[in-house]
Amino acid sequence: MIVLGIETSCDETAAAIVSDAREIRADVVLSQLDDHTPYGGVVPEIAARAHLEHLDGLIRRALDESGLGLGDIDAVAATGGPGLIGGVIVGVMTAKAIAAARKLPFVAVNHLEGHALTARLTNDVPFPYLLLLVSGGHCQLLVVEGVGKYSRFGTTIDDAVGEAFDKTAKLLGLGYPGGPLVEKAAARATDPGRFDLPRPMVGRPGCDFSFSGLKTAVRRHVEELSTPLSPDDQADLAAAFQRTVAEVLADRCARAMRRFKELHPQGGALVVAGGVASNKTLRARLQTLADKEGMPFVAPPLRLCTDNAAMIAWAGIERLRLGQTDPLNFAPRPRWPLDPSAKPAIGKAG
Ligand code: ATP
Ligand code: MG
Ligand code: FE
């Protein structure tokens, strides 16, 4: 089975072709970074127009790279939400048009399920597993019991972790997008232990997260230093922020691992997913934790952590294998939590 995947929920326009033998035949991503950088963040209207302009060409490129034609495709999967609604509509309408014209099954994929199942595209990861989902709009600990079967241990009570990286980058004068710039600045820190930041929620019961206090602490340090910050100040503060986030996430994961083991004594892996999962300090910290707890640790390759369409095609394949498809009157969902019992989400989407 060969599936065309389409991703348009935020500021990456992406198309990919993936087989059920876990081969990524093509995976093209067009970042709209240059369109949004002047505004310091993603502008939904600009994003929707850019998706519309580029998606057709990207699908053609994916087909060319795979050496396949539309006639070789067995199904079309597109992100159906959550995300910026204008962009999601562009992807869903395009997918439906191809599905209708070629009489192919259509799957509307939950973007978060795309992140959640990526590890199964690249590694042998059986259900159940414990998932730390860390992205631009989310920060959650979930048990992935199966396709479409999620139970949530914890979520952020304020900012998503990617959002915290982006806001911190702005405070430090590093620009946008924050995550990769904070990681780069931290790597050149000459005195990484110079700043000590608070560790919100660490040691508290439960598996929830909080990042707004950390961001405020960074702001206070910035206000005390002379602005614009020197490159050394930027680097040392970025290192402190990154290290603290990794510590907070590891503390919450340690609690979740204990709970997971009680529920699933037969075991399972710790999996990390979402854009922030491409952070190398975080990956190393989680590997250390998993080694200590005796749990396997799986982190997808860096380029499959940030938004891409291979993960959408793969989630489509997982659903198609279970006989699940969506009707062509599927309505895009700007909010779409993974866990049905989830409280209304805080943050931009989901
Ligand atoms: P969601 O998946 O929750 O809908 P999204 O799709 O916008 O949100 P992703 O593309 O999964 O989010 O992740 C983007 C986020 O990841 C941004 O906030 C970005 O700053 C962060 N990020 C990307 N690379 C890194 C990195 N190397 N270190 C830390 N954060 C990173
Ligand atoms: Mg993005
Ligand atoms: Fe995402």
How does pLDDT run across 194-205, given as a tens digit for each residue? 999 999 999 999
Which pLDDT band holds residue 342 (cuts at 50, 70, 90)?
low
Does the beta carbon of 162 lie inside 6 Å of ligand 1?
Answer: yes
Pocket test for ligand 1, best of 31, 85, 165 (most atoms within 8 A of CB): 165
pLDDT at 349: 43
Pocket test for ligand 1, best of 12, 134, 135 (most atoms within 8 A of CB): 135
269 vs 42: which has the higher pLDDT: 269
Mean pLDDT score of the chain, rounded to an integer? 96
Bridge partners, residue 167, by sequence? none
The answer to whether ipTM exceeds 0.95 is: yes
* Amino acid identity, position 101: A
Enumerate helices (H) and strands (E) in the chain, giving the number of each: 10, 10
Answer for the pair 7, 111: CB distance below 8 angstroms, yes or no.
yes
pLDDT at 37: 87
Average pLDDT over residues 294-308: 98
Torsion sign, CA atoms 263, 268, 273, 278: positive
CA gap 153, 141 in Å, rounded: 5
CA geometry: angle 149, 29, 53, nearest 5 deg: 110
Residue 96 CB contacts under 8 Å (≥ 6 apart), including other chains: 78, 106, 328, 330
C-alpha 308 – ligand 2 centre gap (Å)? 9
pLDDT at 86: 97
Of 174, 87, 141, 15, give the one whose Cα is nearest residue 348: 87
Average pLDDT over residues 330-349: 75
CA gap 288, 183 in Å, rounded: 19
Q: What is the pLDDT of residues 135-179, one digit of tens each?
A: 999 999 999 999 999 999 999 999 999 999 999 999 999 988 899
Which pLDDT band holds residue 303 (cuts at 50, 70, 90)?
very high
Is pLDDT at 343 greater than 70 in this prediction?
Answer: no
Q: What is the pLDDT of residues 47-100, one digit of tens each?
A: 999 999 999 999 999 999 999 999 999 999 999 999 999 999 999 999 999 999
Q: Is 111 annotated as belonging to a binding site? A: yes
Bridge partners, residue 18, by sequence? 3, 24
Is pLDDT at 238 greater than 90 in this prediction?
Answer: yes
- Helices 161-171 and 212-224: crossing angle, nearest 10°? 10
Is pLDDT at 180 greater than 70 in this prediction?
Answer: yes
Average pLDDT over residues 303-313: 98
Q: What is the pLDDT of residues 12-44, one digit of tens each?
A: 999 999 999 999 999 999 999 899 988 888 999
CA gap 197, 241 in Å, rounded: 7
**Model-level pTM?**
0.96
Average pLDDT over residues 268-285: 98
Does the beta carbon of 180 lie inside 6 Å of ligand 1?
Answer: yes
* Amino acid identity, position 58: L
Does the beta carbon of 114 lie inside 6 Å of ligand 1?
Answer: no
Q: What is the pLDDT of residues 42-57, one digit of tens each?
A: 999 999 999 999 999 9
pLDDT at 227: 84
Of 180, 151, 256, 171, give the one whose Cα is nearest residue 212: 171
Is pLDDT at 340 greater than 80 in this prediction?
Answer: no
pLDDT at 347: 44
Q: Is 137 annotated as belonging to a binding site? A: yes
